[in-house]
Amino acid sequence: MRNRGIPGRAILAMSALSTLAVLATFGYVCYLLSTGASALKPKFLLSSILEGGILEPIVGTLYLFAGATAIVAPVGTLAAVYAIEYSPRGKLSRLLDGALNNLAGVPSVVFGLFGFTLFCKILGLGVCLLSGWLTLACMMLPFMVRSVEEVLKMVPESVREASLALGATKWQTIRHVVLPAAAPGVMTGIVLSMARVAGETAAILFTACFYTMKGLPTSPLDPVLTLSYYLYVLVMYKPGYLDPSEVFALALVLFALTIALTSAAFAIRAYYRRRWARWT
């Protein structure tokens, strides 16, 4: 019995080492990308790709955010409201649950194939911003619905009952009581979706992006350049087009953007989890 305590301790020490190794990997990635900071000058960020800058990819990424979240936020929120508020045990809600689980596991490149067939080809939109919005909105759906569902489940039943007892209808209760309480969940969903959109490449590769020098898209039917796609092109097809330090700077911008958005989502989630924990 006594001699078994020592290998046990050794194994736990090794588990500490592996945790350290994982943390060190994160630290190393941060350190490596921070070497791009020296090239991060206003001129680099604000001039066109024709002049060696990254203005179009930055604006293109923002366009992609705006449209994809504008589509997925209302649809995802309403789907979650239906599943939790209207029909928690209904057939449709159970189907939705299963569909979301599977949707979350579908590889992003398959979303790309799907988006290309339906939006670019069958609906005739072509490779453009709008096709990218729709494809990404489909991809974000599970994250959006799950975030809203989580916080809707946290809103105490007594709050709903109080509103209904005052004579409010089901929709009035949802509109004026439940949704305001669930707002942080909607925010988390939107911010997490934006973080995913910012970094996504495979799903927009053949639905939204062209490597063109045409400048910024002027309508949703124009193709777009994003930070993620530009980084991919620079590494795979145009090595040497930018200085190595500038490619690191581009990767740093993309990294910082996704980390900032994800941290914001975690902060909002931690806030409402603490807030509703007092109720339950």
Partner 1 sequence: MLEAVGMAEGSSKSLDGIELVAALCAAGSIAVLGLIIAFVVAEGAPALASGILTLENRWEPEYDRYGLYTLLASSIAVAVGALAISVPAGISSAVFVVEVLPPKLRDFVKVPIELLGAIPSVVYGFVGYKVIVPTISSAFGIYYGQTALAASLVLAVMTVPTILSLSSEVLASVPLEYREASLALGATKWQTIRHVVLPTATPGVLASILLAFGRAIGETIAVVMVAGCPQQLSGPIWNLLQPVYPMTAAIVMGMGEAEIGSLHYHALFAIGGILLAFSFAVNAAASLISRKASIRLRL
Binders of partner 1 among residues 24 to 63 (CB under 8 A) are 25-26, 29, 32-33
For the segment 171-210, give every residue that binds partner 1 (CB under 8 A).
171-172, 195, 198-202, 205-206
117: part of which helix (H) or strand (E)?
none
**Residue 26: alpha-carbon gap to chain centroid:** 20
The residue assigned the tokens 């975690």 is 266
By CB under 8 A, tell whether 78 contacts partner 1: yes
Q: Show the binding pattern over residues 122-161: x = contacts partner 1 (CB under 8 A), - = does not.
A: ----------------x--x---x----------------
Cβ neighbourhood burial of 206 (10 Å; 0-12, 13-18, 19+): middle
For the segment 212-231, give every residue that binds partner 1 (CB under 8 A).
228, 231
Contacts of 104 (CB under 8 A, 6+ apart): 142, 143, 146
- Which of residues 181 and 261 has its CB atom nearest to partner 1 in the complex? 261
- The CB-of-216 to partner 1 minimum distance in angstroms stands at 21
Spatial separation of the C-alpha atoms in residues 29 and 273, rounded to whole Å:
30
Classify the C-alpha dihedral 238-126-107-67 as positive or negative.
positive
Spatial separation of the C-alpha atoms in residues 193 and 173, rounded to whole Å:
27
Exactly one of 70, 95, 123, 216 binds partner 1 (CB under 8 A); which one? 95
The 3-state DSSP class for residue 209 equals strand
Exactly one of 54, 64, 73, 96 binds partner 1 (CB under 8 A); which one? 96
Exactly one of 40, 45, 59, 113 binds partner 1 (CB under 8 A); which one? 113
- Which of residues 86 and 271 has its CB atom nearest to partner 1 in the complex? 86
By CB under 8 A, tell whether 273 contacts partner 1: no
Closest residue by Cα to residue 61 from 248, 239, 256, 242? 256
Exactly one of 47, 108, 126, 215 binds partner 1 (CB under 8 A); which one? 108
